[in-house]
Amino acid sequence: MSQRKSYAVGTGLFIVLGFAALAYLATQTTSVVNSHQGASYTVDAQFSDIGQLKERAPVKVAGVRVGQVQSITLDPGKAVADVTLLIDKKFSQIPANSVATIYTSGLLGDQYVGLQYGNAKAYLANGSHVGLTKSTQPLEEMLSKFLGSNGAADAIGGTYKVTAHFTNVGALTVGAPVKMAGVAIGSVSDVKADPVKLDATVTMSINKQYNQIPDDSAAAIFTSGLIGTQYVAIQPGGSPNSLKEGDQLVLTQSAVQLEDLIGKFLVSGSPSGNNNNAGGNGSSNQPAGKH
Amino acid sequence: MTDTVQAQPDDRALVRIRGLTTVLNGKTVFDKLDLDIPRGKVTAIMGPSGTGKTTLLKHITGQMRGDAGQVMVAGKNVPELSREALFELRERIGYLFQNSALLTDFDVFENVAFPLRQHTKLPEVLIRNIVLTKLQAVGLRGAASLLPSELSGGMARRVALARAIVFDPMLILYDEPFVGLDPIALNQVLKLIRTLNETLGITSVLVAHELEAIKQVADRVYLIANGKVVAQGDPKTIANDGSPWTRQFFGGEADGPVPFQYPADDYGQALGFRQGAA
Amino acid sequence: MSAQLGRENILIGSLAQIGRCGLFLLRILTAIPLSMRYARETVRQLWFVGAMSLTIIMTCGLFVGMVLGLQLYHVLAIFGGTSATGSVVALAVYRELGPVVTALLFAGRAGTSITAEIGLMRATDQIAAMEMMAVDPIAYVIAPRFLAGLVAMPLLCCVFCGLSIFGGHLVAVDWLGVDNGTFWSNMTANVNVWNDVVNGLIWKSLVFGAVISLIAVFQGYTTPPTSEGVAYATTRTVVTSSIAILALDFVLTAFLM
């Protein structure tokens, strides 16, 4: 009989352990942990663009979670999204003129609603309306703001413009960084096709604090990493004269197409010695090398 | 032993088999078999290996059904019984398996208590008393806490016997109860069969080969061969009834109605000689 | 010609086997109300197939989680996304690895022992003895094992997943330096209780538990009662249930996700 009892106890332990594990997994590792049970109140806010915001996304104040997005509906007749926020009763002292902004947590993360406190004495209550909102900003816009000609470099001491001709710019876009020795010294302000020379003219805005760049420096279009964006790298030359506004960089190395690179690698078996191969037609120099 | 007449009144036969025909895998096991098991007696069923003696027991318990014929047990035709009715009948039949078939998960006590626990809601004290009584009857009360794996063959068979009689059945079927037992264990089992029959009046059916043992215990013997009863009667006299079957079986002759050679094609031909040439 | 005939026979043979298995399931299901009388036996089987499998399940869960943490950390590091380690470990474990690996281990650990035990019970006439004692072996022997497998699988799977996440956490946070808060918040942000835990973990492991138990008891019950037969039956249990698990996993994923 004692043998039988030990089975029962062991089995009971097993079942309890299993259910405890399930309860833990279901409540502590899933979004259930983010969903709200306690007393709460709702406020609504209108955004012109909610981006990737989803229901049950967190609502945060100063990075601390205070509630979640309850519903997202399209305001009838207007191109405006009505977002209802469910906020925990504990956080009942949020000023009525606070600003609701849609943020992204990290570059790849989900979006959430952040509340910046205003200075009003009145607080948000159930059913009240957050009047001040900032909608989500597309990543591209943000990036171009950060990297573009209106970026931080401009603000410090102005820029000067130089041009360079490339036979192929690859995926180089306006706003791409210009780097020397890996450090950003400016950005691409214009990419145009030259109707006469039939190549691409790239205009670069370089920060004025870098005014000692030799005028025989070379410009090359590189890619940062395999899937990274392209940028212009300045390789300093040996001339005593420095680059000035409106100068042209004569020595250029165009963007290397991944296809060309792989083709070269497969044919020659060695990637070395490709650097003198300016231009996008390098692969044609290695004819009939196929097996 | 006056009842050597074949036709008996119904109430004297606990099991009446009439015209039982069974075909298994194309082989006729029973061919219009007629057989009576008298109430309160020990009946032995003998026969050459492979004549379906165990199969006959399975027909009596309803584990197998024949293709035709009647198997009347206590007035009920077994092949026509529903599963529930069959289970009800089986509660009154004890069956001793050739290899004891004790449940390996349980100790001796629980093995004997198993039918009680399954079919009754008796209080634990009563179950304990019944089980210990039955174990005492087979002389293994002291082994109650052993596991089946710790028992010798003879002990396991006695435990199985205790389990078979735990419900005081009307009929016990013994499938080869003497196989693989040393002379001491064999005599213990023999004595138990006799005692159970005499003290409780349980009808017993034995399937066995051991003629000496059967002479000591059985009241009546059936010799089955080729799907039919070929001889029957008192164990002491049946060997002398003069039929070639009994002469071969009880005389232990290698060749006779049961051929030494398994049916085969011509020997000379199989060895490559032309038929008739050798 | 004869090869084609042979192939047809194999096809018809396996169809017949599936059919027999289905009919056997029907017999088990009809015997389940009766087997409620033997609840104690079900508990005992739950101990054997469930609690006794805990050690292997927990050990394997821990290592699966650890290796996931290690691999994912290095892969995600390429994209600067190591903060997603927690959520990817959790998703991979809940949706696929947890149910499938638990099921494969369960088939090897519990399925084989069920098959071998039932096969031996047949070989030693224990099943027939139960029939003779007017106890339905389907209700007393088969159904409790089937039910125990059905109940044990999801529970084991939960334990497996818990240990996996612990293992992933151990490697990613304690050894490789992913931030603890990031690990959990990313996980809780991306794991959905219905899609991932209920549909992935619970449903899949329930189905796998039923399939493994059914195959195990079927193989054990129908095997020829010889030692050879039992040996073949245990092998068949592992092979058949492994194939069934992986094939069903695809079907279930297609339907549930």
Digit-coded pLDDT (tens) for A77-119: 777 888 888 888 888 888 888 888 888 765 556 678 888 888 8
pLDDT band at A285 (very low <50, low <70, confident <90, very high): very low
Instruction: Give the pLDDT of residue B185.
Output: 83
Does residue B209 register a pLDDT over 50?
yes
- Asked whether residue C35 is domain-assigned, the answer is no
Instruction: Write out chain A residues lying below 8 Å of C46, CB-based.
Output: 11, 14-15
Of B60, B118, B147, which to mutate for an interface test with C (greatest number of C Cβ within 10 Å)?
B118
Digit-coded pLDDT (tens) for B88-103: 888 889 899 888 889 9
Pairing of strands A111-116, A200-207: unpaired
Identify which of C80, C158, C188 has the shortest CB distance to residue A21: C158
What are the residues whose beta carbons fall under 8 Å from the beta carbon of B198, sequence distance 6 or more? none
pLDDT band at B8 (very low <50, low <70, confident <90, very high): very low
Digit-coded pLDDT (tens) for A145-196: 555 444 444 445 678 888 888 888 777 878 888 888 777 888 888 888 888 7
- Give the CA count within 13 Å in the CB-facing half-sphere of A243: 32
Q: What is the mean pLDDT of residues B237-244?
A: 74
Count Cβ atoms below 10 Å from residue A84 Cβ, excluding itself: 15
Instruction: Give the pLDDT of residue A244.
Output: 82
CB contact under 8 A, C134 and B115: yes
Instruction: Give the pLDDT of residue C154.
Output: 94
DSSP letter for each residue of C169-188: HIIIIIIT---HHHHHHHHH
Residue of A nearest to C39 (CA): A8
Q: How far is it, in rounded angstroms, from Cα C205 to Cα C149?
A: 10
Instruction: Give the pLDDT of residue A290.
Output: 42
Identify which of A13, A30, A110 has the shortest CB distance to residue C197: A30
Q: Which of residues 81-110 of A touch C (CB under 8 A)?
A: 106-110
- What does the block give as tokens for B23? 């075909």
The more confident residue out of B104 and A211 is B104
Q: What is the mean pLDDT of residues A111-136?
A: 81
Digit-coded pLDDT (tens) for B198-207: 888 889 999 9
What are the residues whose beta carbons fall under 8 Å from the beta carbon of A37, sequence distance 6 or more? none
Distance from CA of C153 to the nearest CA of B (A): 23
Q: What is the mean pLDDT of residues B237-258?
A: 75
The more confident residue out of C216 and A140 is C216
A126 and A41 in contact (C-beta within 8 Å)? yes
Strand partners, A65: A60
Asked if the ipTM is above 0.90, the reply is: no
Please name the chains neighbouring C, where neighbouring means 3+ C-beta pairs under 8 angstroms: A, B
Instruction: Give the pLDDT of residue A264.
Output: 67
Instruction: Write out chain B residues lying below 8 Å of C121, CB-based.
Output: 104
DSSP letter for each residue of B82-137: -HHHHHHHHTTEEEE-TT----TTS-HHHHHHHHHHHH----HHHHHHHHHHHHHH
Instruction: Give the pLDDT of residue C56.
Output: 94
Pairing of strands A99-104, A132-134: parallel
CB environment B26-44: b (16+ within 10 A), e (fewer): eeebbeebebbbbbebbbb
Instruction: Write out the H or E segment, with its range, that includes residue C214.
Output: helix C204-222
| C158 touching chain A per CB within 8 A | yes
Query: CA-based Rg of chain B, rounded to a whole angstrom?
Result: 21
Instruction: Give the pLDDT of residue C216.
Output: 95
Digit-coded pLDDT (tens) for B167-184: 888 899 998 888 878 888
Residue spans of chain C under pLDDT 50: 1
The share of chain B scoring above pLDDT 70, in percent, equals 94
Torsion, Cα of C13, C19, C20, C24 (10° steps): 160
Domains and CATH numbers, chain B: 10-241 (3.40.50.300)
Distance from CA of B253 to the nearest CA of C (A): 32
Q: How far is it, in rounded angstroms, from Cα A224 to Cα C124?
A: 73
Instruction: Give the pLDDT of residue A4.
Output: 57
CB contact under 8 A, C51 and A28: no
Please name the chains neighbouring A, where neighbouring means 3+ C-beta pairs under 8 angstroms: C
Burial class (CB in 10 A: 0-12, 13-18, 19+), C171: buried
Identify which of C128, C135, C140 has the shortest CB distance to residue B97: C128
| C27 touching chain B per CB within 8 A | no
Q: How far is it, in rounded angstroms, from Cα B161 to Cα B158?
A: 5
Instruction: Give the pLDDT of residue A225.
Output: 61
Strand partners, B195: none
Instruction: Give the pLDDT of residue C246.
Output: 95
Query: CA-based Rg of chain A, rounded to a whole angstrom?
Result: 29
The more confident residue out of A250 and C96 is C96
Expressed as residue numbers, the domain containing C223 is 43-256
Does residue B4 register a pLDDT over 50?
no
Does residue B232 register a pLDDT over 80?
yes
∠A200-A201-A205 over CA atoms, to 5°? 140
Digit-coded pLDDT (tens) for B114-139: 999 888 888 999 999 999 999 998 88
B104-113, B224-233, B244-253: which has the minimum mean pLDDT?
B244-253
Distance from CA of C242 to the nearest CA of A (A): 23
Instruction: Write out chain C residues lying below 8 Å of A17, CB-based.
Output: 54, 155, 159
Digit-coded pLDDT (tens) for A193-238: 888 778 888 888 888 878 788 888 888 888 766 556 778 888 888 8
| B106 touching chain C per CB within 8 A | no
Q: What is the mean pLDDT of residues A276-288?
A: 42
Instruction: Give the pLDDT of residue A64.
Output: 80
Digit-coded pLDDT (tens) for A14-69: 888 988 998 888 888 777 665 555 678 888 888 887 777 777 777 888 878 788 88
pLDDT band at A272 (very low <50, low <70, confident <90, very high): very low
Instruction: Give the pLDDT of residue C142.
Output: 94
Quote the number of domains for chain C.
1
Instruction: Give the pLDDT of residue A107.
Output: 57
